[in-house]
């Protein structure tokens, strides 16, 4: 069971396609081998935006590496890496990974979104084609418009139509019902289509251009930026990024409920004594959370869930919303499917979740601008400016769930400090803090302290 790419053993891989269908050979290998190897605790990790298996495998190897020495000598731990079709833009760094990887990304990425230079770099084009294989022609059309940047609103609207075409799925497709984090008051209706797909592309791109300018500003807090009309094409690539993230968010829910949840049900039948601990980063946190919806009703083998910089609504588990008591989270009450705690690690240094997540979320069903026209993005968090309505799990933790416990990372790591059930928010900002624009510390998760949180949440002995 030793894998030359992996720092720990025994290790298995579970692979899913965009509709949640699994690679049966890999699934059956796990089901057949976990009992003979006498695994007692199985740590199942789902990645966020990674565009190939090799990057996901490196992430898992790095995160799992300290666990054997941190766990009690009596522990019998197995490891699973979930691989699903998502993507990472090549200009987004992965902090604390091998320097060679960072150097390669820097050398091959020729047009990161934050520079304002036109066009898509070669790696991002390829990643888009691999992630949306039936839309290769659309990717080339998008790339052409980004390179040419025609000075007309009509061209921007054409661009917006292409972006929507890239990420949309048919209404009857398996993925179509998995984009929403919230269920609205009107007859159980889910969140609407984001305005970044349905409204004015020029207006949306202007908002993103302003956000990018403010996110990279070195002005002091409270400073008033010099007034200038933003070039909407500077926000056009961010629109593409956010639209792609929307598609990945939808896929994560699909893979979780239709893929991982049922596999965990089969695992419970094949190895009822194995204790499962789910871990997810970014959209992988959404994936493992939606797996709770896909669990068979009688399965109680999931002993903990740890969310690392979760890129979905902090109200997802709420019975009702503070601003709309008739609405609630798409995962309301699902934490009760865990025979243990739901631990949400968050950090204020996460630029992806403090700036661009609330902006994109604010557009869902909204036609007005994200902020008043006379306000500057420079010097403050967009999440703070927009208020809690649009927040993400990885920015401030689980919200509006009564009884949720809030701990510092140091407190969470004290013996027997983590609750044995319910929701727990852990401020991980003391370690999740490194990373550049535009995503900040969003991917800075490979720390022994976070591995210790997983062990503590699972009560691994």
**Residue range(s) defining the domain that contains residue 223:** 1-461
Instruction: Name the 3-class secondary structure at 344.
Output: strand
C-alpha dist (Å) from residue 411 to 313, 325, 395: 25, 33, 19
Q: What is the distance between the alpha carbons of residues 450 and 428, in angstroms, rounded to a whole number?
A: 8
pLDDT along the chain (461 residues), means of 10: 82 97 98 98 94 90 98 98 89 55 36 50 90 94 95 93 92 87 66 68 87 57 51 90 88 97 98 98 97 96 98 95 90 97 96 72 42 33 51 94 98 94 98 84 95 98 94
Residues contacting residue 129 through CB under 8 Å, at least 6 positions apart: 135, 136, 139
Number of domains present in the structure of the chain? 1
- pLDDT value for 116: 44
Dihedral of alpha carbons 89, 94, 97, 102, sign: positive
Q: What is the distance between the alpha carbons of residues 303 and 344, in angstroms, rounded to a whole number?
A: 15
Give long-range contacts, CB 8 A cutoff, 24+ apart: 24-32: 27/263, 27/266, 30/80, 30/267, 31/266, 31/267, 31/270, 31/271, 32/270
Q: What is the distance between the alpha carbons of residues 1 and 31, in angstroms, rounded to a whole number?
A: 14
Which bin fits 189, alpha (ψ -120 to 50), beta or left (φ > 0)? beta
Question: Do residues 424 and 395 lie in contact, with contact meaning Cβ atoms separated by under 8 Å?
Answer: no
∠ CA 456-341-262, nearest 5°, is: 110
- pLDDT value for 195: 65
- pLDDT value for 200: 87
Hey, what are 235's tokens?
């926000």
- Please report where in the chains the tokens 């094949």 appear, as a residue: 270
């Amino acid at each position: 069971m030793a894998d030359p790419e992996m720092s720990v053993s025994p290790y298995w891989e579970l692979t899913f396609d965009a509709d949640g269908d699994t690679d049966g050979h890999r699934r059956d290998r796990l089901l057949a081998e976990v009992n003979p190897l006498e695994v007692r605790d199985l740590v199942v990790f789902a990645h966020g935006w990674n565009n190939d298996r090799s990057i996901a495998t490196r992430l898992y190897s790095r995160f799992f590496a300290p666990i054997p020495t941190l766990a009690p000598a009596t522990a019998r731990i197995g490891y699973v890496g979930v691989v699903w079709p998502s993507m990472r833009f090549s200009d987004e760094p992965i902090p604390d990974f091998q320097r060679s990887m960072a150097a390669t990304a820097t050398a091959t990425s020729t047009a990161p979104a934050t520079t304002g230079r036109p066009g898509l770099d070669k790696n991002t084009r390829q990643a888009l084609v691999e992630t949306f294989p039936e839309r290769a022609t659309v990717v080339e059309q998008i790339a052409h418009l980004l390179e040419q940047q025609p000075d007309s609103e009509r061209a921007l609207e054409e661009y917006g139509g292409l972006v929507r075409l890239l990420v949309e799925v048919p209404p009857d497709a398996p993925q179509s019902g998995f984009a929403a984090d919230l269920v609205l008051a009107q007859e159980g209706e889910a969140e609407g289509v984001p305005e970044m797909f349905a409204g004015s592309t020029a207006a949306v791109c202007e908002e993103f251009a302003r956000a990018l300018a403010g996110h990279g500003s070195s002005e002091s807090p409270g400073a008033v930026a010099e007034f200038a009309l933003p070039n909407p094409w500077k926000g056009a690539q961010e629109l593409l990024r956010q639209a792609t993230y929307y598609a990945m968010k939808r896929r994560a829910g699909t893979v979780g409920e239709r893929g991982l949840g049922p596999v965990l049900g089969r695992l419970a039948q094949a190895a009822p004594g194995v204790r499962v601990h789910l871990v997810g980063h970014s959209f992988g946190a959404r994936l493992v959370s939606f797996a709770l919806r896909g669990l068979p009703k009688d399965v109680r083998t999931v002993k903990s869930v740890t969310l690392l910089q979760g890129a979905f609504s902090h109200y997802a588990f709420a019975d009702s919303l503070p601003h709309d008591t008739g609405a609630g989270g798409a995962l309301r009450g699902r934490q009760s499917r865990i025979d243990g705690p739901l631990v949400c690690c968050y950090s204020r240094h996460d630029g992806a979740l403090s700036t661009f997540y609330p902006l994109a979320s604010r557009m869902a069903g909204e036609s007005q601008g994200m902020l008043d026209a006379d306000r500057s993005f420079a010097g403050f968090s967009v999440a703070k400016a927009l208020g809690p309505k649009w927040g993400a799990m990885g920015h401030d933790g689980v919200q509006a769930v009564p009884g949720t416990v809030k701990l510092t990372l140091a407190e969470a790591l004290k013996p027997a400090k983590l609750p044995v059930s319910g929701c727990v928010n852990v401020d991980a900002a003391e370690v999740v803090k490194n990373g550049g624009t535009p995503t900040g510390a969003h991917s800075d998760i490979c720390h022994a302290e976070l591995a210790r949180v997983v062990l503590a949440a699972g009560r691994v002995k």
